[in-house]
């Protein structure tokens, strides 16, 4: 049959022409990143790409460079819908440069606990803020045809046992907190796709959860797009097809082969269901590295606009280059901290460090003194220099064998890391390199593996590892490596050989790699380098400088997909906290710039002059940070998540990460996460939700606050709030007006938070000027989910609208009346 040319609107007409085998091929990926093509009917393959802050392309390691945009938590800290829309649009352009049609993002799961490994990749603890900004991200991304795949649906708030954990959560908490950002983004922006989570929700895997997929997503929200699994997150054939999972990723299929589908068609699944799944799939070149100057400028601006000034005693910031003769830059000043780890990691076009940017900005006007101060490596750096193969090529020779009839394969690896996602049925690998050390003495060697391995040097076994099963830690380099010492002599040649066998990964609950996987990493460092006293040099630099800036934070190995953080403290083993304490003890003008995607413990907060929360601001990280430190950008960021004083003050802490032995986590704190909990215990908060300082000051004229109308009579009512904001300080700046709603008492027989965010807007104002800010609030914001009636219930009574600049900085209150109670059905959008 000749190929048929059709428009995307006519794909459904081809379904009757598809054979069952062709339908099966469309229900799962053809390979790791692409859907199947049906050439005889002109149906093309569609390519997808990670991830939410940059289109990485199909290679996890290396590959073409990409623009690295600020992490979603950094975007959320801008509270700027227009800016997030612009970032989404730029991401679409970068996605097209990788030949991809779909970008796997944004991630919108709320921040339930500060140790959540993937918090940085999502927006906020508040569902309205997360959903509203995600909607703008999606609108920008899809403006010119690139599709967004919102994820991970739903209740994926931890990485511990993420593939097998069962999340037990009330329907009320699901509706009000964990589904709400998805609902807002899907209703407002209509993303092309939804990606299901790995975990189960109330006993049913997300990929075959009929409540989530059928009842809520398809029926109530009327979602018409594609529903796809996370990679390896399909757990059945019939169950996922019947629940509404259209596409299993990646390919080749583990659950949707022709024989498997033929079997379930005998009674468990109808052909109508198969055709419906195929229809949704049908709705929906070569990679390039295009470094656009407009993308650089946007990333630099977005990164700076998301930076939050948490403390600024005596207006120590902004810095004045002409007034400072010496500044110590210590800690992670030379570390590129643009992104977190896992799917959000990209090979950035640029990797601008704070040291590089400040050196560029200051020129010769100031003596910048660098000291590392603390070592935070999770494992030693891979061996990439002074090593060659037997035939003289740089790097290591790797020879692989397979469990089936696949011929043996060889390749040259530039470093002592071996990982291959797309090689199936791998049984073993041998990596060999000739290393010539440049220093005599003891060297530290660290090693991490999934599987089994023997390491030998010149034929002598120096390390054996058996039955290592930490799959995700191996994949992303965040595992606990075994470290040994070995003596080397300068100029001598040493043959390093790693002989490794694949391990069984079936317990990981992920079908990406079949039943076996092999990955390992060897790191090496000389003893003098490894054991150097870094702290003393940093203290000396700080003591003799006018200003000391300590850069703290997480590298991608410490905050990443795949593993939750182990501690609220900065890594490693207290070294960064000791560095800040020691520097602050000798220099009263100590500024801390922290780059993390989540709250951290700050035991030194009261002893430093200034604290700047910079998040993961993307490839222009150093420039964004320097712009704020020097006052080129007036910080206007506000916290999208609460910074508690300790983990003990977090409502979810007693239930995180849950019952690991039985693979169950109960959300016993229900809806009371983030500021909803902390409003009841304000003394437990270090920095509140919505908080952020500026280099100028603002006032909100309480007398100007207007509320119209002052009552709500039904689901179609609209509440309008108008408020005048004045810049009372010396420079131009921005303020975020935040509207919260509260009801002092129990509504519909359930406990309510004291207040909840129901609207916000950001305004930029010149010094001495004033602007009106207008915000609309929907009646849905007054409601609480009623589990018995399955509706959004709004009770009769008096509500309070708080006009604020953070969850604790209230500038005025207006009373709102509901003359009589009414319900909003679950299917009504709002």
Contacts of 30 (CB under 8 A, 6+ apart): 36, 37, 45, 251, 252
Tell me which of 94, 166, 207, 230 is the catalytic residue: 230
Q: Distance between terminal CA atoms of the chain?
A: 49
User: For residues 336 and 351, is the Cβ–Cβ distance under 8 A?
Assistant: yes
Q: Please, what is the angle between helix 81-97 and helix 127-142, to 10°? A: 40
What confidence tier does 7 reach under pLDDT thresholds 50, 70, 90?
A: very low
Q: What is the pLDDT of residue 290?
A: 58
Contacts of 772 (CB under 8 A, 6+ apart): 722, 723, 724, 725
Q: What is the pLDDT of residue 441?
A: 93
Q: What is the pLDDT of residue 829?
A: 72
pLDDT tens profile 210-244: 999 999 999 999 999 999 999 989 999 999 999 99
What confidence tier does 97 reach under pLDDT thresholds 50, 70, 90?
A: confident
Q: What is the pLDDT of residue 212?
A: 98
Q: Which residue has the higher pLDDT, 230 or 474?
A: 230
List 396's β-bridge partners, or say none: 413
Neighbours of 79 (CB within 10 A): 29
Per the prediction, the chain carries an average pLDDT of 91
Q: What is the pLDDT of residue 667?
A: 98
User: Can you say whether residue 797 is alpha, beta or left, with left for phi > 0 and alpha for psi between -120 and 50 degrees?
Assistant: left
What confidence tier does 503 reach under pLDDT thresholds 50, 70, 90?
A: confident
List 48's β-bridge partners, or say none: 102
pLDDT at residue 652 tops 90: yes
Q: Which residue has the higher pLDDT, 466 or 72?
A: 72
Q: What are phi and psi of 772, to 5 degrees?
A: -90, 140
The H-assigned helical ranges of 321-463 are 354-362
pLDDT tens profile 682-693: 999 999 999 999
Mean pLDDT along residues 415-443: 86
Q: What is the pLDDT of residue 472?
A: 64
Domains located in the chain, CATH noted: 1-45+233-283 (no CATH), 293-368+541-665+677-687 (3.40.50.1700), 387-530 (2.60.120.260), 698-825 (2.60.40.10)
Q: What is the pLDDT of residue 507?
A: 53
State how far the Cα of 242 lies from the Cα of 67, in Å rounded to an integer. 39
What confidence tier does 5 reach under pLDDT thresholds 50, 70, 90?
A: very low
Side-chain half-sphere CA neighbours of 794 within 13 A: 27
User: For residues 246 and 227, is the Cβ–Cβ distance under 8 A?
Assistant: yes
Q: What is the pLDDT of residue 349?
A: 84
pLDDT at residue 746 tops 80: no
Task: Tell me the torsion sign for CA atoms 724, 730, 736, 738.
Answer: negative
Mean pLDDT along residues 705-727: 93
Neighbours of 784 (CB within 10 A): 23
In the DSSP assignment, the letter for residue 381 is P
**DSSP string over 614-683:** -----TTHHHHHHHHHTTSS------SS-EESSGGG-TTGGGSS-BTTTTEEE-TTTT--THHHHTT-GG
State how far the Cα of 170 lies from the Cα of 784, in Å rounded to an integer. 13
User: For residues 575 and 619, is the Cβ–Cβ distance under 8 A?
Assistant: no
What confidence tier does 145 reach under pLDDT thresholds 50, 70, 90?
A: confident
What confidence tier does 286 reach under pLDDT thresholds 50, 70, 90?
A: low
**DSSP string over 323-336:** G-SEEEEEESTTS-
What confidence tier does 477 reach under pLDDT thresholds 50, 70, 90?
A: low
pLDDT tens profile 47-60: 999 888 888 877 76
pLDDT at residue 516 tops 80: no
577 is catalytic: no
Q: What is the pLDDT of residue 285?
A: 47
Q: What is the pLDDT of residue 665?
A: 97
Q: What is the pLDDT of residue 2?
A: 36
Q: What is the pLDDT of residue 430?
A: 97
**Range among 9-13, 79-83, 414-418 with highest mean pLDDT value:** 79-83
What confidence tier does 476 reach under pLDDT thresholds 50, 70, 90?
A: low
What confidence tier does 481 reach under pLDDT thresholds 50, 70, 90?
A: confident
Query: For residue 693, what are the CA distances in angstroms to 635, 678, 696, 756, 759?
Result: 7, 20, 8, 22, 20
Side-chain half-sphere CA neighbours of 405 within 13 A: 0
Side-chain half-sphere CA neighbours of 765 within 13 A: 28
Q: Which two tokens stand for residue 428?
A: 């073993």
Cis preceding linkage at 106, omega within 30: yes
Q: What is the pLDDT of residue 392?
A: 95
pLDDT at residue 745 tops 80: no
Q: Which two tokens stand for residue 319?
A: 């810095």
Pair type for strands 706-708 and 719-727: antiparallel
pLDDT at residue 124 tops 50: yes
pLDDT at residue 663 tops 70: yes
Mean pLDDT along residues 788-806: 94
pLDDT at residue 624 tops 80: yes
Task: Tell me the torsion sign for CA atoms 727, 733, 734, 735.
Answer: negative
pLDDT tens profile 316-335: 999 988 889 999 999 999 99
Mean pLDDT along residues 248-263: 93
User: For residues 488 and 494, is the Cβ–Cβ distance under 8 A?
Assistant: yes
């Amino acid at each position: 049959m000749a190929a048929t040319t059709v428009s995307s609107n006519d794909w459904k007409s081809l379904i009757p022409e598809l054979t069952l085998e062709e339908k099966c091929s469309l229900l799962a990926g053809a390979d790791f990143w692409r859907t199947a093509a049906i050439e005889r009917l002109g149906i093309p393959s569609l390519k997808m790409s990670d991830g939410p802050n940059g289109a990485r392309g199909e290679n996890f390691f290396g590959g073409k460079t990409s623009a690295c945009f600020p992490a979603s938590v950094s975007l959320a800290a801008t509270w700027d819908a227009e800016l997030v829309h612009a970032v989404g649009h730029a991401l679409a352009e970068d996605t097209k440069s990788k030949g991809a049609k779909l970008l796997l993002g944004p991630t919108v799961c709320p921040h339930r606990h500060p140790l959540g490994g993937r918090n940085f990749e999502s927006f906020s603890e508040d569902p309205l803020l997360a959903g509203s900004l995600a909607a703008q991200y999606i609108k920008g991304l899809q403006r010119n045809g690139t599709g967004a795949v919102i994820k991970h649906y739903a209740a994926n708030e931890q990485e511990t046992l993420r593939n097998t954990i069962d999340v037990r959560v009330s329907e009320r908490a699901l509706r009000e907190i964990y589904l709400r950002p998805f609902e807002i983004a899907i209703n407002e922006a209509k993303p092309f796709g939804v990606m299901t989570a790995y975990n189960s929700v109330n006993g049913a895997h997300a990929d075959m959860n009929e409540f989530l997929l059928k009842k809520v997503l398809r029926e109530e929200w009327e979602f018409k797009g594609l529903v796809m699994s996370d990679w390896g997150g399909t757990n059945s054939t019939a169950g996922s097809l019947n629940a509404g999972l259209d596409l299993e990723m990646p390919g080749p299929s583990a659950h949707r082969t022709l024989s498997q589908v033929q079997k379930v068609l005998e009674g468990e699944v109808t052909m109508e269901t198969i055709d419906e799944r195929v229809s949704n799939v049908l709705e929906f070149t070569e990679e390039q590295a295009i470094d656009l100057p407009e993308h650089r400028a946007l990333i630099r601006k977005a990164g700076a606009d998301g930076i939050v000034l948490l403390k600024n005693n005596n207006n120590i910031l902004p810095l004045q280059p002409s007034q400072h003769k010496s500044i110590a830059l210590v800690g992670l000043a030379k570390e590129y901290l643009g992104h977190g780890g896992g799917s959000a990691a990209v090979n950035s076009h640029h990797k601008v460090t704070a040291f590089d940017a400040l050196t560029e900005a200051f020129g010769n006007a100031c003596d910048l003194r660098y000291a590392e101060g603390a070592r935070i490596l999770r494992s030693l750096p891979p061996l990439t220099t002074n090593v060659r193969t037997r035939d003289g090529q740089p790097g290591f020779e790797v020879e692989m064998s397979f469990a089936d009839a696949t011929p043996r394969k060889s390749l040259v690896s530039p470093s002592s890391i071996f990982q291959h996602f797309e090689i199936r049925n791998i049984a073993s690998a041998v990596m060999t390199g000739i290393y010539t050390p440049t220093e005599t003495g003891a060297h530290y060697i660290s090693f991490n593996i999934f599987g089994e391995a023997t390491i030998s040097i010149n034929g002598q076994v120096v390390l054996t590892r058996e039955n290592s099963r930490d799959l995700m830690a191996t994949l992303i380099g965040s595992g606990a490596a075994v470290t040994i010492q070995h003596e080397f002599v300068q100029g001598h040649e040493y043959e390093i050989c790693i002989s490794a066998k694949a391990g069984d990964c079936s317990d990981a609950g992920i079908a990406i790699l079949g039943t076996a996987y092999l990955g390992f990493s060897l790191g090496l460092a000389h003893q003098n380098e490894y054991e150097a006293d870094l702290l003393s040099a940093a203290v000396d630099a700080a003591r003799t400088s006018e200003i000391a800036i300590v850069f703290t934070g997480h590298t991608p190995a410490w905050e990443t997909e795949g593993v939750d953080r182990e501690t609220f403290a900065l890594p490693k083993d207290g070294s960064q906290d000791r560095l800040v304490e020691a520097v602050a003890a000798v220099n009263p003008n100590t500024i801390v710039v922290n780059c993390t995607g989540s709250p951290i413990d700050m035991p030194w907060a009261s002893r430093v002059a200034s604290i700047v929360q910079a998040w993961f601001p993307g490839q222009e990280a150093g420039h964004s940070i320097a712009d704020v430190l020097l006052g080129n950008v007036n910080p206007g960021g506000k916290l999208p998540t609460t910074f508690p004083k300790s983990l003990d003050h977090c409502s979810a802490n007693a239930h995180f990460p849950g019952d690991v032995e039985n693979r169950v986590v109960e959300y016993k704190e229900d809806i009371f996460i983030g500021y909803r909990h902390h409003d009841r215990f304000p003394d437990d908060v270090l920095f509140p939700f919505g908080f952020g300082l500026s280099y100028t000051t603002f006032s909100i004229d309480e007398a100007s606050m207007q509320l119209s109308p002052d009552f709500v009579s039904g689901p179609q009512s609209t509440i309008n709030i108008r408020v005048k904001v004045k810049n009372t300080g010396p420079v131009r700046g921005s303020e975020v007006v935040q509207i919260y709603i509260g009801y002092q008492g129990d509504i519909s027989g359930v406990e309510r938070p004291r207040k909840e965010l129901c609207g916000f807007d950001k305004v930029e104002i010149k010094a001495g000027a004033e602007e009106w800010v207008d915000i609309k609030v929907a009646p849905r914001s007054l409601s609480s989910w009623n589990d018995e009636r399955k509706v959004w219930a709004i009770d009769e009574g008096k509500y309070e609208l708080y006009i604020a600049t953070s969850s604790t900085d209230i500038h005025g209150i207006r009373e709102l009346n509901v003359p009589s109670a009414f319900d909003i059905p679950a299917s009504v959008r709002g």
